[in-house]
Amino acid sequence: QDVNKYDGIVEHCCCDYETVDRLNEEVLHPLLQELVNTAFFRYFKVKLWCDCPFWLDDGMCHLRDCSVCECPENEFPESFKKPPGHSLQVDGLVCQERKPEAVVDHTLDAKSFRAWKVVDNPWTNDDETDNEEMTYVNLQLNPERYTGYTGPSARRIWDAIYTENCPKYPDGEFCPEKKILYKLMSGLHSSISVHIAANYLLDEVRNLWGRNLTLLHDRVLRYPDRVKNLYFTFLFVLRAVMKAADYLEQAEYDTGNPEDDLKTKSLMRQILYHHKLQVACPIPFDEAKLWKSQSEPGMKKQIQNQFRNISALMDCVGCEKCRLWGKLQILGLGTALKILFSDNDRDDLGDTVQLQQNEVIALINLLHKLSESIKFVPEMQVIPRHIADSS
């Protein structure tokens, strides 16, 4: 099955499949690949050991490929260890009355970025301001791939996501807001399956890794909707990144290695303002069309609660590495939702949203994973099956 047979515009989005493939291959994937290799984007802070709030733990998976390799204290950048609020005292700015947290009035400062904030993400269940039991993980040492996590434990999570928290609405249902959560989760699920298929343990005895085309076909390609949802999720997250462009351009990517940090800034700028992207797909997803109906406040709250539940389910994932990538990608999606659904009347972020360093790390790594999946799908199909399965 050829993915290019999906013609036309990606549903609810503003670009067509062919353009997305081209932009991803020529511009986005190469830049994102470099960006996630920088020191700033390599280290993700995560709480890996929490009890599942919904049912008794099924027990962790014992496969070697399930466990996460954490960073020793001296490995991750010194600047990441700064106490919360470290760089928040911006000289010369005046605290306003009746603002209990001494928040600086934005009108005094034209910049979008005002140092990394320690803020909780309202879309996720984890309290991102609580550093207790957080550990740093080097993502390069823990690639998302096949782990052997399968069976009732994994199935139970996906079932809980789809049946209880983001049901699929029938085609006739005319309410795009309600459909979005299902499409986002299905797109993320497709991306996880593509990564499992692209990095599969073909021979345990010889520790031989390669591609599993049968799995790719059975779990993703056989279902056109799952491929379409992957594109949808990619464009949704891309739009969030582009909407936050000014903020992300001004942000501090400080790891104590000036050369690497300059490279991070430069790559970020290239992604945010690439002329090919601006011309071919300036608004990958148009969030301004949403939330026009009367029921907006209630519906948005309901969707937010559903997403929070999904994020809480990540603590029930019984495989450490899957939990790591699950938590990262859910925080990335939560960050995209926070950016796109916080204030609909603006084209840019303005002063309504502040992001936490870890949220941006999750957002960019998620975009990279989705971009990688979009690249893998056609690539894997052109490799003759017998070579792919035995490589």
**In degrees rounded to 5, what are phi and psi of residue 135?**
-130, 155
Separation CA 228–CA 255 (nearest Å) = 37
Q: Are 160 and 304 in contact (CB under 8 A)?
A: no
Q: Decide: 6 and 227 in contact? Cβ < 8 Å.
A: yes
Q: Does residue 391 have a known ligand-binding role?
A: no
Which of 42, 47, 179, 219 lies at the binding interface for ligand FAD (CB under 6 A)? 219
Q: CB of 185: closest distance to ligand FAD in angstroms?
A: 7
- Total residues contacting ligand FAD by CB under 6 A comes to 22
Q: Kind and range of the H or E element at 201?
A: strand 200-203
What pairing do the DSSP bridges indicate for beta strands 200-203 and 43-46? unpaired
**Applying CB under 6 A, does 190 fall inside the site for ligand FAD?**
yes
Question: What x-and-dash track marks residues 312-331 binding ligand FAD by CB under 6 A?
Answer: -----x---xx--xx-----
DSSP of 138-187: EGGGS--------SHHHHHHHHIIIIIISPPPPTT---HHHHHHHHHHHH
User: Interface with ligand FAD includes 157 (CB under 6 A)?
Assistant: yes
- 125 SS3 class: coil
Q: Which secondary structure element, helix H or strand E, spans residue 196, and what is its range? A: helix 176-198
Interface with ligand FAD in residues 108-127 (CB under 6 A): none
Which of residues 52 and 251 has its CB atom nearest to ligand FAD in the complex? 52
Asked whether 360 and 335 are in contact (CB, 8 A), the reply is yes
Q: Does residue 146 belong to the site contacting ligand FAD (CB under 6 A)?
A: yes
Q: Kindly state whether residue 154 participates in binding ligand FAD, applying the rule CB under 6 A.
A: yes
Smallest CA-to-CA distance from 356 within 183, 187, 161, 134 is with 134
Q: Which of 144, 320, 359, 372 binds ligand FAD (CB under 6 A)?
A: 144
Q: Contact between 46 and ligand FAD (CB under 6 A)?
A: no
DSSP string across 287-311? GGGSS-STTHHHHHHHHHHHHHHHH
List, in order, residues 6 or more apart from 373 with CB less than 8 Å away. 190, 191, 194, 195, 230, 234
Q: Which of 193, 212, 255, 365 binds ligand FAD (CB under 6 A)?
A: 193
User: Which of residues 17, 149, 231, 376 is near ligand FAD by CB under 6 A?
Assistant: 149
| 316 is an active site residue | no
Smallest distance, Å, CB 124 to ligand FAD? 14
308 is in an annotated binding site: no
Q: Is residue 214 at the binding interface for ligand FAD, with CB under 6 A as the rule?
A: no
322 among known catalytic residues: yes
199 binds ligand FAD (CB under 6 A): no
Query: Known binder of ligand: residue 206?
Result: no
Active site (catalytic) residues: 319, 322
Binding-site residues for FAD: 145, 147, 158, 186, 189, 219
Give me the residues that bind ligand FAD (CB under 6 A), please: 144, 146-147, 149-150, 154-155, 157-158, 186, 189-190, 192-193, 196, 219, 226, 317, 321-322, 325-326
